[in-house]
Amino acid sequence: MQDADTKHFKQPTDFIREWRKTIGMTQTELSRLSGVDQSSISRYEKGEYIADLQKLYQLAQGFGLPYNALLFSPPPSLSRLLSILPREHHAVAISLVAEVLEATLVSSSKNGD
């Protein structure tokens, strides 16, 4: 349960469902790819649990994303891109977006942004 001071701040686990839906993955698929129990994924998405750093890392790996991608909601352009691409091309598109996201995050951290 969140108190009044923190209810407006999103937790990294708040974005799990957004990324999963954007990518078009089920909880079961994410569980298989990440090694995180499906029931835990469900609880993270419902806000019943907050994932620790190890679980966030595993989930990001399951998505094929850099470890810190779950700190942000998916870019709207990714949703649009995946909506027009055949499903068999989704993995390549996600991989490319992940590389760009990781490069941007690394660059921002080096510049102190």
What kind of fold does domain 12-110 have according to CATH? 434 Repressor (Amino-terminal Domain) (1.10.260)
Structure tokens, 31: 């569980």
Residue 87, number of CB atoms within 10 A of its CB:
8
Mean pLDDT throughout 98-102?
75
d(CA 97, CA 99): 5
Assessment of whether the complete model's pTM goes beyond 0.75:
no
How far the first Cα of the chain sits from its last, in Å, is 31
Check residue 105 and give its pLDDT.
Answer: 67
What are the structural domain ranges in the chain? 12-110
By the 10 Å C-beta count (0-12 exposed, 13-18 middle, 19+ buried), 112 is classed as: exposed
pLDDT band at 100 (very low <50, low <70, confident <90, very high): confident
Whether residue 76 has pLDDT greater than 90: no
Check residue 113 and give its pLDDT.
Answer: 53
